């Protein structure tokens, strides 16, 4: 299994032919990431945005765009989103990557019934992180799509994240269903939900819950708490109770530690790289490489 993002980026270089469609990718961080992706032979790209905005950013930042980066001049965010999605669904690009536009407009295009990337499956966000003190990549889900998932949705969220981890070289993924405690508590409804899912199991995945983060991630903590099982202390998928928890959890790593992060939506017909508008160029590059490798 890949152990860090340097290895993921190298694997993306080995997978030739990746091309990203980027709606409203006119901001400095997106253009820097696309430049790096082109220079490192990770992916070429086409930016759907008003040409004047791209030229303004290039001039202000002193950028020189790589020759493989194309600009498709469109008038509005809505046009940019739907044209980028159409480019991917029509085979003109292999990856969709969110630029400087609102998530709601981006997802509206992704879910468009005529041109979108629907598969009939739940779409869920997967943030893959590498914490320097950890010996493995870990996926946090779902911090971007489903506010309060049902049992059926949780199962598909786990399956989506497991698919990403398998593409990153994991054998049988180990999913921890996270809560504040490891026992069912009527005041914490997610504990009963997660206990039921864990009892029923999920095909192709070791799943355990409810688990607190320490029991899920640290073998010593799991031993002290007398938690046993395939997941205890060795989880590589962390499933949060709701979108707010997942979003806060992932962003806390990004902005308060030296963690490297890549984020994408799983469950669509093609890799969908969805990031915060505030993410740095390196995070966008990691996410693009993640999309290339998992979509190969």
The domains of the chain are located at 5-118+268-294, 125-252
What is the structure's pLDDT at 278?
Answer: 64
SS3 assignment, position 126: strand
What is the structure's pLDDT at 134?
Answer: 80
Regions in the chain scoring below 70 on pLDDT: 277-278, 296
What is the structure's pLDDT at 133?
Answer: 82
Q: How far apart are CA 56 and CA 102, in angstroms?
A: 20
User: What element of type H or E holds 19?
Assistant: strand 19-23
Please provide the CATH number assigned to the domain covering 5-118+268-294. 3.40.50.10950
Place of tokens 């206990």: 195
Q: How far apart are CA 142 and CA 158, in angstroms?
A: 9
What is the structure's pLDDT at 280?
Answer: 84
Q: What is the DSSP string of 196-258?
A: HHHHH-BTTBEEEEEE-HHHHH-HHHHHHTT--SSSTTT-SEEE-SSHHHHHHHHHHHHHHS-
Question: Whole-model pTM?
Answer: 0.94
Residue 161 is encoded by which pair of tokens?
Answer: 């994240």
- Orientation of helix 51-61 relative to helix 28-39, angle to 10°: 80
Note the CATH architecture for domain 125-252.
3-Layer(aba) Sandwich (3.40)
pLDDT digits (tens, 9 = 90+) for 194-241: 999 999 999 999 999 999 999 999 999 999 999 999 999 999 999 999
Q: How far apart are CA 105 and CA 82, in angstroms?
A: 9
Q: How far apart are CA 193 and CA 172, in angstroms?
A: 23
CB atoms within 10 A of CB 235: 29
CA-closest candidate to residue 20, choices 291, 294, 293: 291
């Amino acid at each position: 299994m890949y152990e860090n993002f340097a290895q993921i980026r190298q694997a993306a270089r080995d997978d030739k032919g990746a091309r990203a469609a980027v709606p409203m990718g006119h901001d400095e961080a997106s253009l820097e990431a696309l430049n790096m992706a082109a220079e490192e032979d990770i992916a070429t790209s086409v930016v759907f945005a008003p040409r004047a905005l791209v030229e303004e950013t290039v001039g202000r930042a002193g950028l020189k765009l790589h020759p493989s980066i194309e600009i498709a001049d469109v008038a509005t965010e809505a046009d940019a989103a739907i044209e980028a999605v159409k480019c991917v669904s029509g085979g003109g690009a292999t990856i969709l990557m969110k630029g400087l536009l609102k998530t709601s407009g981006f997802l509206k295009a992704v879910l468009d019934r005529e041109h979108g990337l629907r598969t009939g499956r739940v779409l869920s966000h997967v943030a893959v992180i590498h914490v320097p003190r950890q010996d493995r990549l870990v996926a946090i889900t779902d911090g971007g799509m489903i506010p309060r998932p049902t049992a059926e949705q949780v199962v598909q969220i786990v399956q989506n994240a497991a698919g990403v981890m398998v593409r990153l070289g994991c054998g049988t993924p180990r999913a921890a269903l996270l809560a504040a405690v490891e026992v069912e508590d009527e005041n914490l409804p997610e504990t009963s939900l997660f206990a039921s899912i864990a009892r029923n199991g999920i095909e192709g995945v070791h799943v355990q819950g409810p688990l607190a983060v320490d029991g899920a991630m640290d073998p010593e903590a799991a031993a002290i708490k007398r938690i046993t099982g395939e997941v205890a202390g060795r989880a590589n998928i962390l499933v949060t109770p709701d979108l707010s928890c997942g979003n806060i959890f992932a962003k806390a790593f990004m902005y308060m530690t030296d963690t490297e992060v890549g984020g994408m939506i799983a469950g669509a017909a093609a890799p969908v790289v969805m990031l915060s508008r505030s993410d740095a160029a390196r995070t966008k590059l990691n996410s693009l490489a993640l999309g290339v490798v998992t979509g190969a």
